[in-house]
Amino acid sequence: MIRLHHVGYVVRDIDAYAEGFPGLVFERAVDDPQQQARLALYRAGPAYIELIAPSGPGAFTWAHLERSGEGLHHICYEGADEAAIDEILRERRMLKVRGPMHAPLFDRPVLFAMTRKKAIVEFLL
């Protein structure tokens, strides 16, 4: 059974953006060289909010930030192994776009997929 783990936002300034959310509790932050971004994780009740600040044009999320501005980037689920996730992708006709790859913020592998409506979904493995 998959469950919501976090909602990811791409932002220009992590601290400034976090101030706009009531009730966030800071957990940790890392610099992710693979994504070329600073990542911060905040507890928000039973789930988390991830804030992603890309460091420049080579960052995975830079184009999203430039095209759409700050805001929602992805929804992340956990609770399934890779075989179960592959089945979810097939059933929902989603496209796997990245991964599995190591996610330093979670110290776990993740993979990214896209829905037919072009929404980004991350899965923690």
Residues 22-38 have pLDDT tens digits of: 999 999 999 999 999 99
Residues 43-84 have pLDDT tens digits of: 999 999 999 999 999 999 999 999 999 999 999 999 999 999
For residue 74, what pLDDT is reported?
Answer: 98
Distance, CA of 21 to chain centre:
17
pLDDT at 114 over 90: yes
Q: What is the CATH number of the domain that holds 60?
A: 3.10.180.10
Domain boundaries, position 31 = 3-124
Scanning the chain, the segments in alpha helix (DSSP H) are: 14-18, 62-68, 82-91
Number of structural domains (the chain) is 1
Question: Mean pLDDT across the stretch 4-19?
Answer: 98
Start-to-end C-alpha separation, the chain: 13
pLDDT at 1 over 90: no
The three-state secondary structure class of 13 is coil
Residues 43-53 have pLDDT tens digits of: 999 999 999 99
If pLDDT is split at 50, 70 and 90, which confidence band does 93 have? very high
